[in-house]
Amino acid sequence: MFTGFLILFSLTKAFLPNGLERLAHGIIGTLAALATTVLFLKIHQQKFSSIRLVFERNTLAKFFLGIIVGVLIMGLLATGVLYFTHAKVEVNQNSNLFHFLLVTSPLLFLAFMEELAFRAYPLEILKNKIGVAPAIGITSILFALYHLANGWTFASAFLGPAIWGLLFGLAAIYSKGIAMPTGIHYAANLTTSALGDKNTSSSLWIVKQTDTVITTYKGIDLATILPSLVLLILVTILFLFLQARNKPLKRQ
């Protein structure tokens, strides 16, 4: 239903300038996710509060905490990849922080749209019916399939969004809402955008190839496998820790 609304609403992008495509996609996607949520809430005679989709006093605090968590995790993963591949990083003299944040501002809408679509109504309903772990797993698979439908390869969709979806889902359950996973999601995309090549004018840093760069090891793509594996281990440990403490990882 969300994908159908997204395709339908996206027809309006033909009337917008190409430079606003990403921003328009984020806003249109948010409207599509909201329309889908409202429709199902109406069908089941529920309110936004029943799926924890309400603005509270600590909503912004959770969002900014998510940004900190996302920057730390993505920063560590990126640093690890750069270290093991021996790539060189230089400051992009043609960009600055203000320009970077302005150019990447659509990422906030894109992150919110996907969290609203996958970690709000679907996650809450599945959690209450089949439990936390299956709910997070199913929504993460759907999140990967959504990226697959958007042109991602099978490997990139399931080694990227699927594993990140586990973290987003866990954050949504633990924080009781989508503010924190939206912050993590936005920060992860923002950190990725901060690293570019010599042809990228908006990135804060430029990743340069050197004679010692190693992108594969015995046929394995280090830049893809290493961060995915580390993130999967991190999410698994975090889930087991929270489950052992019997925190919000119970049916409610």
Give the pLDDT confidence of 85-108 residue by residue, as tens digits. 777 888 888 888 888 998 899 999
Residue 217 is predicted with a pLDDT of 55
Among 82-86, 130-134, 184-188, name the one with the lowest average pLDDT.
82-86
Q: How far apart, in whole angstroms, are the C-alpha atoms of residue 227 and residue 80?
A: 8
Q: Which helix (DSSP H) or strand (DSSP E) does residue 61 occupy? A: helix 59-85
Lowest mean pLDDT among 11-20, 142-151, 169-178, 231-240: 11-20
Q: Where residue 218 falls among pLDDT bands split at 50, 70, 90?
A: low
Q: Quote the pLDDT of residue 85.
A: 75
Q: What percent of the chain has pLDDT over 90?
A: 58
**Residue 89: count of CB within 10 angstroms of its CB:** 14
Q: How many residues does the chain have?
A: 252
Distance CA 49, CA 47 (A): 5
150, burial (CB in 10 Å: exposed 0-12, middle 13-18, buried 19+) = exposed
Using only the alpha carbons of the chain, give its radius of gyration: 19
As for how many domains the chain has, the answer is 1
236 within some domain: yes
CA atoms of 213 and 26, how far apart (whole Å)? 35
Three-state secondary structure call for residue 195: strand
Asked whether 235 and 171 are in contact (CB, 8 A), the reply is no
> What is the Cα–Cα distance from 180 to 175, expressed in whole angstroms?
7
For residue 155, give its domain range.
Answer: 56-244
Report yes or no on 216 lying in a domain: yes
Does the pLDDT at position 176 exceed 60?
yes
Question: What is the percent of the chain with per-residue pLDDT over 70, rounded to a whole number?
Answer: 92
Q: Is residue 131 included in any domain, yes or no? A: yes
Report yes or no on 40 lying in a domain: no
Beta bridge partners of 207: 89
Q: What is the DSSP letter of 19?
A: G
